[in-house]
Structure 1
Amino acid sequence: MKIHKQEFIIKGMAFSIRSAEEWDAVSLSSLRVQIDGETENMDREQGEAYIDAAGFRDIIRLDTEKDRNLFLVATVQEEIVGYARCEGSDLKRFSHRVEFGVCVARNYWGYGIGNKLLESSLHWADRSGVEKVTLTVVETNDKAIELYQRMGFEIEGVLKKDRRHANGEYYDTIVMGRFGNK
């Protein structure tokens, strides 16, 4: 699915949010590796589960074709600095929901880019008849948890000691969900 391009200026930073296009694949491949190395909030360590440009082209093509998928990118001066995905299921029992994920490059934190990616995704979900949006977040990512709660997400459960980081310590994963505005 695709959305119309949106323009924002927050704290002096001008950025756009638009649907991912196949030509974004090379940038997305390197950005994903970069972001995974910038924070412990992601599920992967830097370089893990690498997706090359061809893989991203396939994901973008699939997300564009499917009614229950959405792939957004955030750009600053045409450079991709973050992205978000909503991925639905082909299984009938889960066809009412999508799973949301988001990431923004560290140099662009604090400008509301992640917030606008989330808002755009939720707006799309509500207009597309998606009944539930789910996500997971590491317990230490307080800012993200607060944002999700402000946007109507509720904590549905906690996966105890679900992650083990490079330092050997275990962390809980918080499972959150939001039912659409009906």
Structure 2
Amino acid sequence: MIISSQVFNVKDLNYTIRSAIKSDAKDLSELRLQIDGETENMDREKGEDFIDPAGFEKIIESDTKHANKLFLVAETDGKIIGYSRCVGNDLKRFLHKAEFGLGVLKDFWGYGVGKNLMKETISWADVNGIKKIVLYGVLETNERGIELYKGLGFEIEGLLKRDRILSDGKYYNTYIMARYN
């Protein structure tokens, strides 16, 4: 699905949120790799489950054509600084819900990039009949993320105990969070 671009100015940072296009594939491949290495809040370590530019081209093409999918990027001065992806299901019993994922470069935390990516996705979901947006694997120590999600209407649905092992070798719990329309 394609949305109209939106321009934001937060703390003197101008950025645009728009639908991903095929020519973003190379930048998205590099961006995802960088974000995965900047924080342990992501599911992957840097380099794991790598998606090359050709893989991103396929994802973007599929998401653009599918009414139940949305792939957004945040861009400033021609550089992609964040992304979000909301993926619905074609099974009739699950047409009402979609899974959501998001990543923002650490240098751009605190500028509302993640929040505005989520707001645009929520608006799209509300208009397109998505009644439930689900976040899987929200690390329980990701206080900033949890606060952001709750502020946008998400609630904790469940706790997965000892769900993830981080670089310190310790197990961590993760939350399943969801927002209902």
- Normalised by the length of structure 1, the TM-score is 0.98
Residues 30-70 of structure 1 show CA distances to partners (whole Å, capped at 9, x for unaligned) of 10000000001000000000000000000000000111100
Q: Does 1:83 align with 2:78?
A: no
Q: Does 1:129 align with 2:129?
A: yes
Letter in 2 for 1:84: S
Matches within 5 A, 1:31-42: 31-42=31-42
Residues 125-174 of structure 1 show CA distances to partners (whole Å, capped at 9, x for unaligned) of 00111111000211011011011111111100000000011221111110
1:81 shift after superposition: 0.4
- Normalised by the length of structure 2, the TM-score is 0.98
Q: Provide the C-alpha distance between the structure 2 equivalents of 1:161 and 1:91, rounded to a whole number of angstroms.
A: 30
1:15 shift after superposition: 0.4
SS state of the match for residue 82, structure 1?
strand
Q: Once the two structures are aligned, what percentage of the paired residues are identical? A: 53
**Which runs of at least 4 in structure 1 moved beyond 2 Å after TM superposition?**
none
What is the aligned partner in structure 2 of residue 169 from structure 1? 170
SS state of the match for residue 49, structure 1?
coil
Unaligned runs of 5+ in 2: none
Q: Provide the C-alpha distance between the structure 2 equivalents of 1:145 and 1:38, rounded to a whole number of angstroms.
A: 18
Unaligned runs of 5+ in 1: none
